[in-house]
Chain A
Amino acid sequence: MSLNGKKPVAIIGGGLAGLTAAAQLRRHGAPFVLYEAGPKIAGLAMTFSDGDGFSYDFGAHFITNRLAAAIGIGSKCRTVRYYGETVFMDGRTYGYPFGLMRVPRFAFKGVVAKAAAFKKGNAPQSAAEWYRRNYGSAMADEVAIPLTEAWSGVAADKLSPAVGDSLPGSISRTIMLKLASRLTRRAVACGYSREMPETPNVWHVYPEGGLGLLCQRLASGLEEDIKLESPVEEILVEDGRVVAVRAKGFEQEVSAVVSTAPRHILAKLVKGTDALQPLSRFRYRPMVFVNMRFQGRGLLPDVVIWTPENKYPFFRLTETPLSMPWLAPEGKTLITVDIGCNVGDETWSMDEEQLGEFCLGHLEDMIPNARQKYLGCRVLRTPIAYPVFLNEYEADRQRFELSTGVEGLYSIGRNGEFSHIFMEDVYWRTMKRTRQLVASLDR
């Protein structure tokens, strides 16, 4: 880092967002120091491998060929050929989203809701209302609301209608993209990029050796300015402007701070202002991912199975090798079971063996002889899997979406933005924010 008397920008967090910001600051010749609390870069964008040939991600991550090209790792990525989602209810499967229309009551109530939407009315007040208006009451109550409640851990009438706004776009576009996917035998991205348009030319890819490659490429050449095992303890604000950060007891004067920390944690780090106090109420849903290994392949009828019925403790199952065969050895497969929970609760505290048993008991409905095929599991836990848009802080959420209210403090990335965005969104949005930051430094 050559400072030339200039104060550096402090970047907090060495995941996709933090490293994207770092790489862009370097291009603009702006000095920075990146503080990563852990011993390695990449954060949630990391793949774990075991000695048996299985690879595990924190949930299925979606990298597009466009993101790979932007980062310059296209030659190290493989095309994902297929991706599909199915809903499992009453022992039957329905393709998502159109297969659900085969259910007469879903179709009928859906049409009624669409027709009613032409009448002007008040805007929906909660996620539950949003679903009923957009999907009709039957599909909302039986599918959308139970799924939302399972992943958020909150009743859908306490959630903001903004939850619905984050769902994929128009029907005609979805049909077009699904068709393109069939024709080209590529998993065309549909509902996995918000920031940039989805087209038949943008599809899922997967880097050789796992997700970590994205961050490794972004970090290459920046190593000197990345401090590992250096959690930032305080962000110091004076007169409404960031002036310094403290890490490992050492205070560093800074020109700006780019934080990728979850918002409630950011609120705790900032000293010298109470402008960020409202953020301390923001909640993230903890999640346990039970990666179950099985003999065989194609145990599930589709890559992703949504399970809205209350009898299941999980809301989603993913057999990633159907989409990305290289994640499991041939003749074997991996099913990731997503269970929403709270830190320290019964699910969170169960050990690997218990969780495996717990899931097996429920999977036998769907997979005959699941127990005989079972080869053990690996569990990943995260306290911050999804942002929860509670109505009680919706006004604050919208206000902080625009700015942190502290001069020189930027909150970016999936956690920092408190937004259910995907990897490519994180990249483009971070590029945009960093551009604004660079412009403000130049002034």
Chain B
Amino acid sequence: MSAPSSHSKFMAVTFKVNEQAAPAPVVPQFVEEKASLSLESVGCCICETDDAEPLGVGEDFEYNTSPETFLAMRCRQCSLVYLNPRPSLADLDCIYPENYHAFQFSEEHYGLVYKVRRRLESRRALSWCKGLDEDARILDVGCGDGFHLSLLREFGRPGWRLEGVDNSQRAVEMAARSNLLVHHGSVEHLDLPLAAYDLAFLIQTIEHVGDPPGILKAVLKLLKPGGRVVIVTDNTDSLDFKMFKGRHWGGYHFPRHWNLFNPKTIKALAEKVGFEVESLKTVVSPVNWVYSIRNTLMDMGAPRWMTNRFSLESTVSLSAFTAFDMLHQLAGKGALMRAILKRPV
């Protein structure tokens, strides 16, 4: 790479300046020395073209894992929104820090929010499991610390066989602590039994992966004919996206969300892979609203007491925006989307 040499060239020049400009030495205001990522260029995973327009420019507002600037592009052909260029797989440990929320969404960290979310999510998850046999086999792809699996274990049928998959060693360790069976790796490469599962989840997972068609193809093969996969992901056909898409939209989650869908693109993805779309709805969620505002405030240098009002720990803003998003949900424009896809019989 040529960057270090140009850097040292600049440093050499500055050094000389220091000598000359005494007594007031020049302190170059460099961006903080954090590791740059090795970014790679990609195209649209649905159309397989790179005919796209730049839509949003931003930084890692939430975790500040790198000093990089990121670009969200929108495919001119199918309207998929995707990060380009994006971190390489080698960068994953850097962009998912130790304190990443999906690794430690616990009662001790999140209190009341944890309890409410547990209640709501268990009801949602159980509704997807309606009609499953006593001994159904269920796979949660991208299970994180096993939040949904533990809900099913607690509130579901005792005979269900629950398994998870996650790419992150940390997530797998967290899940193992709760005695959950979680496979470490990616669903495309793990040697899981084919045509064996009745139901799969990709809950806020598909936006994190590099190759959504690849992962869905793998899931298709693991499902029994007639088996279903439930996908929950951010919705780019929403007001929060429209308002904040230039920079601060919470759903960008720079640089961890690589592909972002709307009802049209999720349908195109399902069909590309060979799934039947059984149902497609939007779902109420306050998170992107709260984080869009938080990112805006952070970017404007707002004081901490103010930004802290907008986080996963702030019950007031979460409830207010839950109510607000319910209004959008009525118009079919909730902040999240839920697709239920079926492997054709």
Contacts and interface: CB of A to CB of B under 8 A. Distances in A.
A69 B13 CA distance: 26
Contacts of B84: 70
Contacts of A217: 2-3
B246 interface: yes
A75 B66 CA distance: 8
A76 interface: yes
B26 A216 contact: no
Chain B binding site: helix, strand, loop or mixed by DSSP? loop
Interface in A325-354: 326, 329-332
Contacts of B58: 201
A65 B69 CA distance: 7
Interface string B1-45: 111001101100110110011001010111100101101010000
Contacts of A330: 17, 21, 24, 26
A76 B9 contact: no
Contact of A213 (B6, B24, B51, B59): B6
Contacts of B21: 53, 329-332
Interface string B240-263: 000000110000000000000000
Given A66-B54, A330-B21, A74 B70 contact: yes
Given A72-B85, A196-B53, A201-B246, A208 B68 contact: no
A210 B246 contact: no
A210 B7 CA distance: 9
A244 interface: no
A252 B312 CA distance: 61
A26 B258 CA distance: 22
A122 to B, nearest CB: 36
Interface size class of B (residues with CB under 8 A): 35 or more
A212 interface: yes
Contacts of A240: none
B306 interface: no
Contact of A52 (B1, B3, B20, B49): B20
B36 A212 contact: no
A200 B246 contact: yes
A72 B83 CA distance: 12
A90 B236 CA distance: 54
Nearest to B53: A196
Given A27-B41, A201-B57, A208 B69 contact: no
Contacts of A209: 6-7, 9-10
Given A201-B57, A330-B26, A208 B6 contact: yes
Contacts of A75: 31, 34, 36-37, 66-69
B54 A196 contact: yes
A212 B39 CA distance: 19
Contacts of B36: 75-76
B51 A435 contact: yes
A139 to B, nearest CB: 33
A89 B248 CA distance: 42
A326 B247 CA distance: 27
A142 to B, nearest CB: 38
Contacts of B67: 74-75
A184 B68 CA distance: 19
B188 interface: no
Give the interface centre of A74, A220, A431, A435 by most chain B CB atoms within 10 Å.
A74
Given A70-B54, A209-B7, A216 B16 contact: no
A69 B71 contact: yes
Given A199-B246, A330-B24, A220 B2 contact: yes
Given A49-B9, A53-B14, A72 B1 contact: no
B50 A435 contact: yes
Nearest to A53: B17
Contacts of B66: 75
A359 B300 CA distance: 42
A207 B2 CA distance: 13
Given A65-B57, A196-B54, A435-B50, A78 B2 contact: no
B69 A74 contact: yes
Interface string A18-50: 000001100100000000000000000000010
A75 B31 CA distance: 7
A236 interface: no
Give the interface centre of A199, A209, A219, A428 by most chain B CB atoms within 10 Å.
A209
A200 B56 CA distance: 11
A156 to B, nearest CB: 35
Nearest to B56: A201
A220 B1 contact: yes
Interface string B303-317: 000000000000000
Given A199-B246, A201-B246, 17 more contacts: A51-B16, A52-B17, A53-B13, A53-B21, A68-B69, A69-B68, A72-B39, A74-B59, A74-B70, A78-B31, A213-B6, A219-B2, A220-B1, A220-B2, A329-B21, A330-B26, A331-B24
24 contacts: A27-B50, A52-B16, A52-B20, A53-B16, A53-B20, A53-B26, A69-B69, A70-B85, A72-B85, A74-B68, A74-B69, A75-B34, A75-B67, A196-B54, A199-B246, A207-B6, A213-B2, A217-B2, A220-B2, A326-B28, A329-B17, A331-B21, A435-B49, A435-B50
- List of 10 A-B pairs having minimum Cβ-Cβ separation, nearest first: A74-B69, A53-B17, A209-B6, A216-B2, A69-B71, A72-B39, A209-B10, A329-B17, A69-B69, A201-B247
